[in-house]
Chain A
Amino acid sequence: MDWLTTFPAMNKDTLTALKRGIDDGFRAFTRAWGDPIEAFFEPLRLFLIHSERLLLNSPWPVVLLVVGLLAWLGSRRWSIVIGSVLTLVIIGYFDMWDDTMRTVAMTFVCTVVAIVVGIPVGILMSRSNRVQAVVNPILDVMQTMPSFVYLIPVVMLLGIGRVPGVIAVVIYAIPPVIRLTNLGIRLVDKDVLEAADAFGSSSWQKLKNVQMPLALPTIMAGINQTIMMALAMVVIASMIGVQGLGQPVLRAINNQYFTLGMFNGLAIVGIAIIFDRISQAFGRRLQKHQEVTHG
């Protein structure tokens, strides 16, 4: 009765051959295409490096001022402005300024890439059920596949460094923007769309004047989620050489430095809260026309 308790798995030799075949195939692919792909991502690397330099080379009071200003523009609330600036001051006082700036630059670049790629994909999904049926399972894979696993092919293709880091983070963080753009557009009131049609709007006019503005609060919720996930992924991306707050955390894990890990972990939490409060307050302000309701 042995065959009942042991699953009839594939022949060991066949399986090894299969794995080796795929590995060899992929390796051949990386050898042939590694350079062109790297060249393709060169602008991304420059964007990242410049953002990082900008934040690192600017005097810290200027950075604080800009963060305070952004917080004010986004939220129009003093509590959020003061909270954001104070958090950064504390982070800086505990000598984590440079790492924090690198992480902020990384998160910023990843979020921009996620938005630039994610919103058009979300729009395409909302227009066609077929595209939605294809993209949805891909997003499911991106969200559930352990992030270490897709670090492997990225590193094989592009080596260790910033760009593979950005790609890994974007893969992990992009699904919410795509899903919520799709959802937001699909939830737009059918009556309003019909009115836009009745006045002879082209599909671009409908997208620009009706669908995007009405979906914007939902899309903002997606962007907020994407920022949070990008920040969370930064620690894992430090394994493939992304600099920033993740590196000290990684060192702390390897050497059991409790305090080092805790401080840097809290710094990540701190900037996560800043990003979250500002982007959420901004999202709410976009809906101000919804608030004043006729009695």
Chain B
Amino acid sequence: MAEPQENQFGIEIRGLSKIFGPRATDMAALVAQGISKAELNERHGHVLGLRDINIDMPAGRIQVIMGLSGSGKSTLIRHINRLIDPTVGEILVGGEDVVKMDAGALRTFRRHKTAMVFQKFALLPHRTVLENTVYGLEVQGVPRARQVDEAMRWIARVGLGGFEKHYPNQLSGGMQQRVGLARALTNDAPILLMDEAFSALDPLIRTDMQTVLLDIQKEIRKTIVFITHDLDEALRLGDRIAILRDGEIVQQGTSQDIVLRPADDYVESFVREVNRGKVIEVDAVMTPLAGDGAPGSPQVPVGTTVDEAIGTLVAGTGDSLTITGTDGVPVGAVTLRQLAAALTSAR
């Protein structure tokens, strides 16, 4: 593959609301006035799916949308390629509004701009791994030889080399989802939509797949929208995270923002269960430094997790660390006490 071009396809979601029911458009005004989900259901028999969603998803990064079941996260991701039509709102992909596309334009958009990975894999059971993987290119009408070349490369890349002729039923869940991932990547679309892609997998395989995804993302720099109900997964993968509850966004930000500054009790209750040491970075707890650090203390770069920092610290003899910037110049210092304080959420 040629050097990946700079990904231009960020996704901007503007004022998106989705109401399910026969007179959804009439209800939009009520929703805009702030009627509650329960009241809309009881008084008018309509279900509020999403309310006034605004998200900026930067190009070439992983945007995680996290929420429990019923929070509307799967509905939200299906708006991006319009498997579900919004009631009101705009979805701008690379500056173009997906909502305004007609059927033909939408099909072209889905073929060339997006690829999707599904929670239940959604492979074609009558096709082999190879035939599943070429599907996107086949639909595009790409010559067969190129379909196979691309597909074989990605099958090997996700670690399924040698399984091309197997049927999905002959593979374990983890392997089936690798096929799902290979199928999406073969499409070579700038946007990758992953709907609870790893939720159906065993914990170990899930971690494994997260690693595979992060590795691949370093090369391909897609705009990835990743849906999950698992905060650990969200924190591990997400460059940015949006937390969804009952169809509304309760907090958006980086993993540091979410863990260190939960917006409300709801987010707080999730964050309490998180392994903070693996998420919080030393920059968040260090004391900024004007001159040089304590002489002789071990150095760690900015962006090191608290967990790793403690590891470095206990391996040595001192009780403080010097934090260095990207240029190697010391920018701060952190003590064991500060690191330990970061690990506990009890204050």
Seen from chain A, the residues whose Cβ lies within 8 Å of a Cβ on chain B are 189, 191-192, 194-202, 205, 209-210, 213-214, 289-294
Asked if A294 and B110 sit within 8 Å, CB to CB, the answer is no
Name the CB-closest residue of B to A210.
B124
Asked if B116 and A202 sit within 8 Å, CB to CB, the answer is no
Q: Which residues of B contact A202 (CB under 8 A)?
A: 107, 139
Q: Which residues of A contact B123 (CB under 8 A)?
A: 192, 195
Per-residue contact bits, chain B 91-125, to A (CB 8 Å; 1 contact, 0 not): 00000000000000001111110111010101111
**Which of B125, B139, B172 is close to A199, meaning CB atoms less than 8 Å apart?**
B139
Q: How far is the CA of A265 from the CA of B62 in the complex (A)?
A: 71
Whether a CB of chain A sits under 8 angstroms from the CB of B169 is yes
Q: Which residues of B contact A195 (CB under 8 A)?
A: 116, 118, 122-123
Name the CB-closest residue of A to B169.
A293
When A and B form their complex, which 8 residue pairs have the shortest distance between CB atoms, in order from nearest?
Answer: A200-B111, A200-B110, A195-B122, A198-B116, A289-B167, A191-B122, A200-B107, A199-B136
Whether a CB of chain A sits under 8 angstroms from the CB of B187 is yes
Given contacts A192-B123, A194-B83, A292-B170, contact A200 B139 (CB under 8 A): yes
Q: Which residues of A contact B168 (CB under 8 A)?
A: 289
Seen from chain B, the residues whose Cβ lies within 8 Å of a Cβ on chain A are 81, 83, 107-112, 114-116, 118, 120, 122-126, 135-136, 138-140, 167-172, 187, 193
Asked if B169 and A201 sit within 8 Å, CB to CB, the answer is no
Given contacts A292-B170, A294-B170, contact A200 B109 (CB under 8 A): yes
Could you show 12 A-B contacts with beta carbons less than 8 Å apart?
A: A191-B122, A194-B118, A195-B123, A197-B110, A198-B83, A199-B110, A200-B110, A200-B111, A209-B135, A209-B138, A290-B169, A292-B167
How many A-B pairs with Cβ below 8 Å?
A: 74
Q: How far is the CA of A292 from the CA of B126 in the complex (A)?
A: 12
Smallest CB separation, B294 vs chain A (Å): 55
Q: How far is the CA of A209 from the CA of B137 in the complex (A)?
A: 13
Chain A, interface SS category: helix
Q: How far is the CA of A289 from the CA of B168 in the complex (A)?
A: 8
Q: Which residues of A contact B111 (CB under 8 A)?
A: 199-200
**Which of B116, B118, B135, B171 is close to A294, meaning CB atoms less than 8 Å apart?**
B171
Smallest CB separation, B163 vs chain A (Å): 12
Smallest CB separation, B314 vs chain A (Å): 44
**Which of A189, A201, A294 is close to B139, meaning CB atoms less than 8 Å apart?**
A201
Name the CB-closest residue of B to A205.
B139
Name the CB-closest residue of A to B140.
A200
Name the CB-closest residue of B to A202.
B107
Q: Which residues of B contact A209 (CB under 8 A)?
A: 124, 135, 138-139
Asked if A214 and B126 sit within 8 Å, CB to CB, the answer is yes
Asked if B169 and A192 sit within 8 Å, CB to CB, the answer is no
Q: Which residues of B contact A205 (CB under 8 A)?
A: 139
Q: Which residues of A contact B83 (CB under 8 A)?
A: 194, 197-198
Name the CB-closest residue of B to A198.
B116
Q: Which residues of A contact B167 (CB under 8 A)?
A: 289, 292
Given contacts A191-B120, A289-B169, A294-B172, contact A198 B114 (CB under 8 A): yes
Q: How far is the CA of A199 from the CA of B114 in the complex (A)?
A: 8
Given contacts A198-B116, A199-B136, A201-B139, contact A192 B107 (CB under 8 A): no
Given contacts A192-B123, A198-B116, A209-B124, 11 further A-B pairs with CB under 8 A are A189-B122, A195-B118, A195-B122, A195-B123, A199-B110, A199-B135, A200-B109, A200-B111, A201-B107, A290-B125, A291-B169
Q: How far is the CA of A236 from the CA of B16 in the complex (A)?
A: 64
Q: Which residues of B contact A191 (CB under 8 A)?
A: 118, 120, 122
Q: Which residues of B contact A189 (CB under 8 A)?
A: 122
Smallest CB separation, B245 vs chain A (Å): 25
Asked if B170 and A194 sit within 8 Å, CB to CB, the answer is no
Q: How far is the CA of A189 from the CA of B115 in the complex (A)?
A: 19
Q: Which residues of A contact B125 (CB under 8 A)?
A: 192, 214, 289-290
Q: How far is the CA of A191 from the CA of B116 in the complex (A)?
A: 12
